[in-house]
Amino acid sequence: MCTDYHALNRVTIKSRYHILRADELIDQLLGDKFFWKIDLRVGYHQIRLNEADCYKTAFRTRYGSYEYMVMPFGLTNTPSTFQLTMNKVFRPLLDKCVIVYLDDILIYSTTREQHLKDLEAVFSLVQQHQFITQGSKCEFLKQELEFLGHVISIDGVKIDPKKIATIQDWKSLANLHELQSFLGFVNYVRRFIPNMAGVTSPLMDLLKKGKFHKWGGEQQVAFEKLKRFLTTPPVLWIADPCRPFELITDASDLAVGAVLLQDFSEGLQPIAYESRKLDPAERNYPVHDKELLAIVHAFKVWRCYLTAADVTVRTDTKEAYDSNFSGHYGIDKTAELLSRHYYWPDLPSDVQQYVTSYATCQRMKSSRLRPAGLLQPLEPPCRPWQHVTMDFVTCLPAGSSVATASKLAIPEDFLAGYSWATHSSYSLDTLDRSKTG
C-alpha cells in the first residue's frame, strides 16, 4: 500500500545522502566470475520508525485511522534512509565483495571458493540484523546475472533482454505519457546507444507543450532507429583503470558525441557511449569549437575514468585543415598558426609528420632542389647524329694508359655508338672538341 504524503514531504527536511548510479556500481565487477543476488522482502517495511514520529504517517480509511510503525513507501526520505541503513549494515564488506542498491544485494567473487566464504559473511550480517529475504527473487551462484536492468557476466555488460522484448512490442507512441516513458528508458541505457542525443532530437522536440500532435515521418524514423539500437545493443566492457583509454569524439550541427574504448586482448572494446544535444547558442560555434566542446563534455562525463589516466583522444578535425579557404602552409607556418591557440608537448613534431605525409602540402610547397633539367620529350631527329646522348663511366682500373674513364656517345637513331678513353677530369672545352672531332 502506498499513501499520498505530498503535504508531509513539502515540510520535510530533505536528506542529502548520495545513492550511487547503476554504472558506478557495475564498474566494481571487473574480473569477477561468480555472482549471487539477494532481494529483501518489502525492504522499506523492515526499518522501524522513530516512535515519536509515527503519528506523522497517519492515514484514514473507512475502518478507522492508522499509523505506520515501519518506514512506508511515499516518504521523500525513504530511499536515502534505507540506503544509509544498508550501507551501515554491510560496511565491512562494501567494495570488497558486496554491492548494495536499496533492497538489492549483489555478492561477487573471482573464484568459487572465495565466493562461498563471501556468502557466509553476508548471510551472517543478514541474520545478525534480522533481515528477511525473498527467496523467489534471489539468484544463487550465477556466472551471468540480471542486476539493475543489466545483464552482467565475465564478458561484460548488456541490456536485460526482458526490457528489450518490451520495446519490440511498441509499434508506435500513442500519447505524451508513452513518449516520456520511452525516452526515460532510452536515457537509462544511453551508454549503450551511439549518438543518442542526435537520434532522439526529433522526439525530444515533441515534449514541448502542445507539440505531440506534430508526430510525422521524421519522428517515426527516429523511433524505429532507436528500437533497432535497443534490440541489438553492443556488449560494453567494464573499464580497467590500469589500462590506457582511447577517446573518440565527433560533433555535428545538432549534437556532440563520444565513445570510450580500451584495448583488451580481443582489440579495442567499447566501455560507454555518450552524447548530448547542442543548445541554440552552441550550434553557432565554428567547427573546431564544436569538436573541442565534444572533448570537454566527454572529459566531464567520464572524469572518474580519465582523471590522471593515460588517454589518447581522436577527433575528426581534418575538414578544418582541408578547408578551401585554409591554404596549405609549410611546417613552420602551420606550427606557428597552431601555437597561437593550442598547445601540446609534441606539437612541432606532430605538425612535421602531418605536413610531410600530406600529398597536397607537398605539391603546393615549392621545391628546394636544383632544377632537374629538360623534362619534355625532344622532337625526332631528321638526320643521323642530329641528337646525341652522352654519358661517362668513371673510376675504371688504371691500365697501360693514364685514362681512368670512358666516354660513351650514342645517337638517338641508334644507328651506331662510339666510346673512347678519357680522364675523370673533363672540361667543357674538351667536350666541345670531341663533339666536332
Dmax (CA) for the chain in angstroms is: 136
**Between residues 426 and 252, the one the model is more confident about:** 252
Q: Which domain holds residue 340?
A: 249-364
Give residue 156's pLDDT. 86
Q: Is residue 128 part of a domain?
A: yes
* Per-residue pLDDT reduced to its tens digit, 44-79: 898 999 999 899 999 998 899 999 999 999 899 999
Q: Report the alpha-carbon distance of residue 73 to residue 3 in Å, rounded.
A: 7
The H-or-E segment that residue 217 falls in is helix 217-231
Number of domains, the chain:
4
* Per-residue pLDDT reduced to its tens digit, 240-284: 888 999 999 988 888 899 999 999 888 889 999 999 889 889 888
Q: Nine-digit cell at 357?
A: 605525409
What does 400-429 look like in DSSP terms, one character per residue? SSS--EEEEEEETT-S--EEEEE-SS--HH
Q: Which residues contact 218 (CB under 8 A, 6 or more apart)?
A: 202
Residues 34 and 130 in one domain: yes
Residue 141 pLDDT class (50, 70, 90 cuts): confident
What does 254-269 look like in DSSP terms, one character per residue? SEEEEEEEEEETTEEE
Angle, helix 331-339 to helix 347-357, in steps of 10 degrees: 140
Residues 62 and 118 in one domain: yes
* Least confident window among 105-119, 145-159, 215-229, 375-389: 375-389
Q: Which residues contact 259 (CB under 8 A, 6 or more apart)?
A: 194, 247, 248, 270, 272, 273, 274
Q: Report the alpha-carbon distance of residue 34 to residue 114 in Å, rounded.
A: 9
Q: Is residue 267 part of a domain?
A: yes
Residues 26 and 93 in one domain: yes
Residues 215 and 110 in one domain: no
- Partners of 59 in the β-ladder: 66
Q: Is residue 294 part of a domain?
A: yes
Q: What is the CA radius of gyration of the chain?
A: 38
Q: Report the alpha-carbon distance of residue 336 to residue 136 in Å, rounded.
A: 68
Q: Is residue 169 part of a domain?
A: yes
Residues 124 and 187 in one domain: no
Angle (nearest 5°) at CA 145 between 139 and 151: 150
Contact 233, 160 (CB under 8 A): no
Contact 255, 195 (CB under 8 A): yes
Residues 177 and 109 in one domain: no
The CATH number of residue 313's host domain is 3.10.20.370
Q: Nine-digit cell at 15?
A: 536528506
Residues 261 and 287 in one domain: yes
Give residue 428's pLDDT. 61
- Given 231, 263, 284, which residue is the final one in a domain? 231
Contact 41, 132 (CB under 8 A): yes
Contact 115, 151 (CB under 8 A): no
Residues 128 and 24 in one domain: yes
Q: How many CB atoms lie within 10 A of CB 364?
A: 12
* Per-residue pLDDT reduced to its tens digit, 410-420: 665 666 666 76
Q: Is residue 381 part of a domain?
A: no
Contact 390, 418 (CB under 8 A): no
Q: Report the alpha-carbon distance of residue 305 to residue 243 in Å, rounded.
A: 11
Q: Report the alpha-carbon distance of residue 62 to residue 152 in Å, rounded.
A: 47
Q: Is residue 62 part of a domain?
A: yes
Q: Is residue 154 part of a domain?
A: no
Residues 96 and 24 in one domain: yes
Residues 254 and 343 in one domain: yes
Q: Which residues contact 251 (CB under 8 A, 6 or more apart)?
A: 257, 287, 290, 291, 293, 294
Q: Is residue 324 part of a domain?
A: yes
Contact 277, 207 (CB under 8 A): no
Residues 334 and 402 in one domain: no
Residues 307 and 358 in one domain: yes
